[in-house]
Amino acid sequence: MKKVFFGLVSLVFAVGFIYSSPTDEQIRQAANTLGVPFNDLKGFVQSYQPQAVPAGALTVTAQDLAAAYKGNQMRADSQYKNKTVQVTGKVRGIKKDIYDEYYVVLDFPVEVYVKAAETNKIANLDIGQSVTMVGTCTGYDVWIIKIKDATLLR
């Protein structure tokens, strides 16, 4: 019962902080109230701060991005390659490549490689969950469309 109470109280405090960046003092007070370590609560709260979409980011679904590359790779490269994209799709898998880089598989063949700081966020994703991520499209690479240096928005 204590774990459930702690979880609910933590969630309430975190949700209260999401839309306004809390100061260290506010987090410290909440940590003292909850009886949890300051650094743990601070990390938890910061990991759920909303991310801003970079200005000029192209918005596309994973399905539309895949269709663009399947249809005309040259045109798709001119639209998306080396540009910041905000891509939305369903999680099909979470994998690690041979270089120990984690990525989220959206609709095949879109693979979104996340920044190292984002790995804790993607660890909580579920297959079938809809996500929106922002990163740099590097184009079609052998079998896949890569988006690098991505952050998870939602």
Residues of the chain with confidence (pLDDT) below 70: 1-21, 42-55
The pLDDT, as a whole number, for residue 48 is 55
Distance, CA of 23 to CA of 137 (rounded, Å): 35
Same domain, 70 and 109: yes
Same domain, 85 and 115: yes
Same domain, 89 and 119: yes
- Assess if residue 52 is contained within a domain: no
Domain that holds residue 7: 2-47
Same domain, 121 and 101: yes
- Assess if residue 31 is contained within a domain: yes
Q: What is the pLDDT of residues 20-59, one digit of tens each?
A: 567 778 888 888 888 888 777 766 665 555 556 666 789 9
Same domain, 41 and 96: no
The pTM of this model reads: 0.66
Same domain, 131 and 70: yes
Same domain, 83 and 123: yes
The pLDDT, as a whole number, for residue 63 is 96
Same domain, 63 and 90: yes
Same domain, 90 and 127: yes
The pLDDT, as a whole number, for residue 53 is 61
- Assess if residue 53 is contained within a domain: no
| CATH number of residue 65's parent domain | 2.40.50.140
**Tally of domains within the chain:** 2
Asked if 60 and 110 count as a contact pair (C-beta separation under 8 A), the reply is no
Q: What does the H/E/C string look like for 7-33?
A: HHHHHHHHHHHHCCCCCHHHHHHHHHH
Asked if 138 and 147 count as a contact pair (C-beta separation under 8 A), the reply is yes
